[in-house]
Structures are given as structure tokens and as C-alpha cells.
Structure 1
């Protein structure tokens, strides 16, 4: 388990908090492994009835750690999928309800993972962004299908092609989040909701969640695989490598 992924289980809820404050909870390969472990535990343990995703230090997740993201890694092996593959598809396939509490930044993967949550609460300070094109990449976690399904084609194009920040009020209006609440109330309310879900009749809950999913679930999983294949190609592209090298270039000290 990654030291930057904090997992607690109580009252039928597995709470998974990303905790890497010095990097705004940006995800590394080890963090993906920790998240995947928690999701798989949630799926397999009948005593766990709900998953709660959270961030710490006033941040949800600022996306992938660019330096870690650029490191060479083995290609996905169907027999032994890598950490990010386990996280992506474990979250997409999870039959138990998922609640998310977003206290601040939710960028890239920090934003797209919310598309797989069932109930999302956010603080007024939360800010969201889908910056894939600006990084020379393409969307992941099924975002190229789920964002248009959620907000419509033209708004999805605006979010994914321009990649601008949008605030919590806009996220609520578009359906990315259910409710906005003060940061101090965010995690307690999300925890209360997760505990309430954990007390519901589980088979009825599972079946209802399945019915709420987009009709073309297999198409979504296929799109996720397609996104990953294109993303892997883009990571090797000179355009993307140049962008990421610039992002990692030390910035001049402020005078």
C-alpha cells in the first residue's frame, strides 16, 4: 500500500484518501496501486458496502505526477495488468456505490474519476479541469464517452478541447457534482451519505446502480481500452515529450 493512500474501513464504508500534499495529491504508479488495492478490497469484502473517495490538505487530486508519468513502464499484460489499469477498470466495474468528497483541485484523472462516482459533493473552492489536449494527450477513464453523455456534445467539446478550469458552481450546474457545501461539512456529509448507502438492501442497490449506468457499458470499457492505447502512443510522441519537459523545467525563483 502506498504511503500516500490512506485507507480506513468503518460502518461498512471503505474511505480512501489521497494524501500527498506537497504535490497536491498528484498520482504516482505506487498511488495507483494503493487505489486499486482499496477498490479490489471493496469489491471482494462483503462487509464493505460503499467506497468513499477523498483528498486531504484541501485538494482532491491534481492529476498524474508528470515526472512519474514519463518514466518508461511495461506495456499492459492482460494476465498481470498494471496499477493504473487495475484502478481504471476496477473503478468502472465496481458494483457497490461510490461517493466522492472534493475539497479543492480536481484535475485530469482527479476529475475523470468523478465520472465513475455515484454521488459527488464539492466545496465552493473546488476547481475542475480536463487538460489532456494541452499536455499533448487524450482523455482517459472513459471521459471521451462519459463527458458527452453527461453534459452534451458541444459542452463536452468545450471542456475537453479547450481544457479550461471550471468552478464548483459550474460543475454542479453541469451535473459533475450533486451538491456544494462548506469544506468543514464536506467529509462529514460524504461519510454520512456513504454510511446511509451501506445500510441499504445491497442487492437492490447493486441492481439499481447497474440500471443507472449508460446502456452501452461494454462500449464504455472498449472505449477505455482505446483511450489507453492512444494515450500510450501520445506519451511517446515528440510533441507530448516536449510539453512535459517544459512542465518539468525548473521555474525561475520569484524576486
Structure 2
């Protein structure tokens, strides 16, 4: 495991903390694989009944570490980490709950679409600047957001790049609850405590039903199609130029 992920296990809860505050918890290649591996192991562990995901510092997750995208050559291995994490999230059977204290950018927002509960602070902000970088949405967001919000609102966020604050995210149904920053950890723990009071087999079966009926397969197909276009565009000069401009 890299230094970018802190892992704790206690009383049936697997706690995962994105721990790259100096990089605003941006995901690099190592962290993608480490987070996916931790989620996979937790999902296989019968003693783990809930997975808790948070970020250290002032940002939840600033998206992909743009340094990893510099001079991307189109190789499939270059996106192996994102692919593994996204498919793991799409297939996760253990309830996943996230606490968002600050900015969630790109995959920092799309990974939340796979969570079963999201609590955020009043300071949280969500943005999906894919087209500004010259690439397409990922994480199954092209399907999930259209299903949830309808085409026009999804177009606002995924194509026009409109960000939203915590109150708007709550109104849109992207998060379950908005609390003061100081109350975030307690609010997240309360949701986990409520979940843990329920019958574990009933919870797992209920989640399978909510994710079933062909939805999981359609989501996995959307993720694969998105990454195909993402990889092609990322290797192009326009995307590389946009990334270099942002990095200065």
C-alpha cells in the first residue's frame, strides 16, 4: 500500500481515508490500485458490514493527479488504475458511505455516484470539468447522471462543466445530507450506526436488488465505453495542451 491511503478496521467497519492532503487527495496510479484493492478486500470480508470513505485535509478528492496524464501515449496500462477502481465500485456489494468535507473534482465526484450514502459539509463543492480538459466523462456518469437528473441537467454538469455547491447537490439528490463542517464525522458515523443496527443479510440482498435488474451490467458497459473515448482523447494534443496549461 502507498502512503496515500489510511486503512482502519473496527467493529465491522472498514474506514478508508484518502491521505494525500498536499495534493488535495488527487488520485495517482498507485492510489487508484490501493483504493481498489482495499475495497475488494473489504467486500470479500464477511466481517465487514460497511465501508467508510473520507478524505484528509481541506479537499475530499481533487480528481486524477494531472501529472499522471502528462504525455499519455494511449496505452491501456496508463488507465489500468482508474478502470480497476471504477469497475470495483460498480460491483461493490458492501454498503459504501462517504463523507465529503471540501472539493470533489472529476472522479472525486463520479466515485460518489457509486456510494450508498453521501454526507457532505456546507463547504463541499462538486465539479466535473471533463470537456474543459478535452476528455469525456467517466465513472459511468454519462449513464448515472442522465438516469437521475435527466439529459438537460446532466448536460449542464458533464458537458458545460457547471459545478454545484452542497445545497444544490442535496436538491439534486447527489448527497443525502448536508451538515456543518464540524459535524461531518459525527453525522457520517450516525448513518453507519443506523446501518449496522439492521440485519446484514437483508441489507446486502436489498443492495443487490437496487443494483440488479440489468443495471450493473449496463453501468459496467458505460464505464468501458467512456474509458475507450477518454483514452483516445487524452492522448490527443488538445487534451495534453489543456493539462499542461493547468499545471503551468
Shorter-chain TM-score category? over 0.9
Do structure 1's residue 245 and structure 2's residue 215 form an aligned pair?
Answer: no
Query: Alignment partner for residue 100 of structure 1, among 81, 98, 120?
Result: 98
Quote the residue 1:189 is aligned against: 187
Quote the residue 1:212 is aligned against: 210
Change (3 A) 1:243 1:214: farther
Task: Give per-residue Cα distances to partners, 1:103-145, cap 9 Å, x unaligned.
Answer: 0000100000010001110000101101101100111110000
Deviation at 1:152, TM superposition (A): 1.4
Do structure 1's residue 126 and structure 2's residue 124 form an aligned pair?
Answer: yes
Contact 1:61 1:107 in 2 (8 A): yes
Which deviates further from its counterpart, 107-116 or 158-167? 158-167
Task: Give per-residue Cα distances to partners, 1:23-72, cap 9 Å, x unaligned.
Answer: 11111011111111110111111111111110111211011110113354
* SS state at 1:52 partner: strand
Quote the residue 2:36 is aligned against: 36
Structure-1 separation of matches of 2:183 and 2:221: 38
Change (3 A) 1:122 1:86: same
* SS state at 1:162 partner: coil
Task: Give per-residue Cα distances to partners, 1:66-86, cap 9 Å, x unaligned.
Answer: 011335475259xxx933222
Which deviates further from its counterpart, 19-28 or 194-203? 194-203
Contact 2:71 2:235 in 1 (8 A): no
* SS state at 1:180 partner: strand
Do structure 1's residue 200 and structure 2's residue 198 form an aligned pair?
Answer: yes
Root-mean-square deviation over aligned CA pairs: 1.7
Quote the residue 1:141 is aligned against: 139
TM-score by length of 1: 0.91
Deviation at 1:217, TM superposition (A): 2.1
Structure-2 separation of matches of 1:120 and 1:19: 19
Structure-2 separation of matches of 1:245 and 1:238: 10
* SS state at 1:60 partner: strand
Contact 1:12 1:195 in 2 (8 A): no
* SS state at 2:57 partner: coil
* SS state at 1:144 partner: helix
Structure-1 separation of matches of 2:35 and 2:193: 20
* SS state at 2:87 partner: helix
* SS state at 2:54 partner: strand
Deviation at 1:214, TM superposition (A): 6.8
Quote the residue 1:252 is aligned against: none
- Name stretches of at least 5 consecutive residues in structure 1 with no aligned partner: 250-255
Which deviates further from its counterpart, 165-174 or 201-210? 201-210
